[in-house]
Amino acid sequence: MASKKRVVAADTLQGIETLQHVLGDMVDLITATSFAKAIRTFDEPIDMIICGIHFDDSRMFDLLAYTRNQTHLREIPFYIFRDLDSALEPTFFRSLEISAGVLGATGFIDLFALKQRFGVSNADEQFRKRIANAIELY
């Protein structure tokens, strides 16, 4: 049997709990709530990075830039995701998505918006499928 893919989850505790719930045991989730801890997780081989927009006081772009400047991490899929409600306008999240792409992220997943639109279980399933497909392509 193939070993589970190793995925770094960089986010707040609440975001990490969401990822643990949504992804279940389909991956080996390595968690980090700070930039320094996330960097340490890269000492071992990994297959993907999922970073929440609230990670370490919104340092997701710092982490993205770091990974894209490291030869051994450059091609690792890097997703930015949102799961918490916010008073910010939808155009702000669209600008995050565009910026993430320009800076080299594989994608931006607005799990909160998916839950609002499709319901929790359908949104979670869409998220799982997207992550599973990305891991298989890698």
Give the model confidence (pLDDT) of 71-112 as tens digits: 999 999 999 998 866 656 677 778 878 888 889 999 988 888
Q: Return the domain boundaries, the chain.
A: 13-137
Mean pLDDT value across residues 64-76:
96
On whether the CB atoms of residues 4 and 14 are closer than 8 A, the answer is no
- Residue 132: pLDDT band with limits 50, 70, 90: confident
8 Å CB contact between 12 and 52: yes
Look-up of token digits 């980090």: 32
Cα(64)–Cα(84) distance, integer angstroms: 20
**79 φ, ψ to 5°?**
-110, 135
Helices 120-137 and 13-23, packing angle to 10 deg: 80
61 within 8 A of 96, measured Cβ to Cβ: no
Give pLDDT, residue 137: 58
End-to-end Cα distance, the chain: 18
What fold characterizes domain 13-137?
Rossmann fold (3.40.50)
Q: What 3-state class would DSSP assign to 15?
A: helix
